[in-house]
Amino acid sequence: MKTMQKIGGGRFEVEMQVCGSGDPLLYLHGAGGLVGVDPFLEELGKDFKVIAPHLPGYGDSTGGELIEDVVDASLFYHQLMDDLGIASAYVVGHSMGGMLAAELAAVDVHRVKKLVLVCPAGFWRDETPIPDFFAMDLSDLAANLFHDPKSPLAQMFTAIPEDAERLAEMYVERTKRLTQASKFLWPIPDRGLNKRAWRIAAPTLLLWGASDRLIPPVYAQEFTSRIKQAQTQTIKEAGHMVMYEQPEAFVKAVRGFLKA
């Protein structure tokens, strides 16, 4: 269900997908944003109260100009939890959202009960460079984001609308989102998490699509070598968009880890 919520004394008005009931689970989306109705969130709602805010600058959320770096983003999520009355939560973050979730968990270690980082950004290895996501054509994007770029799912994600007006709308929306993402990811998605990740105290699951070509699974080591209680799990026949490509395996892994 889509709701709007004022955060930080009205500095932000935040569009959120909220569903289910149970212990709160905060889901932080990746650079591409939320789709609208994300089935894996509905599924997680069977066990948790899922709260998926659109980062300011995404969707209908306002106040994007107030968030310029990872500190601003981390404080925003803290404020959101304050205003929603959530003392601590399970936090799941995908890609850019994984990077921000790790920041959030490092800044205040008491706010995150358990952490799931799904193909997270935040590190750079010269020997395994992450392809330039911002410069990609839609066809390159499909090849980098999906295990099977030819699948109907991959095609749906990267389809170019025939209608000129829809195309223009899509272009404006994509520009808006990626402009905001560029603050954390451009030109290299490293904003110093290597200095802070050691503070993360929450038990952490690194969850990766085995054939992620955007952020290859070897990046899990950057996290597991720094975070005290970390484990890795990979999902077969899934790329960077693992939660759309293998939703059942994804939900099972998240639920299994959080409920354990």
Residues that bind another protein (CB under 8 A): 68, 132, 134-137, 140, 171-172, 174-183, 186-188
Q: Quote the least distance from Cβ 181 to another protein, whole Å.
A: 8
Closest CA to 73 of 49, 54, 47, 48: 54
Q: How far apart are CA 128 and CA 200, in angstroms?
A: 25
The answer to whether the beta carbons of residues 49 and 21 sit under 8 Å apart is yes
At its nearest, how many Å lie between another protein and the CB of residue 135? 4
**Of the candidates 69, 77, 79, 80, which has an alpha carbon nearest to the alpha carbon of residue 93?**
77
Residue closer to another protein by CB (options 60, 68) is 68
Name the residue nearer to another protein (CB basis): 164 or 260: 164
Nearer to another protein, 134 or 198 (CB): 134
Work out the angle at residue 256's Cα, subtended by the Cα atoms of residues 53 and 213, and round it to the nearest 5 degrees.
65
Nearer to another protein, 152 or 163 (CB): 163
Closest separation in Å from C-beta 214 to another protein: 15
CA 112 to chain CA centroid, nearest Å: 16
User: In the bound complex, what is the minimum distance in angstroms from residue 23's beta carbon to another protein?
Assistant: 35
Partners of residue 207 on adjacent β-strands: 118, 233
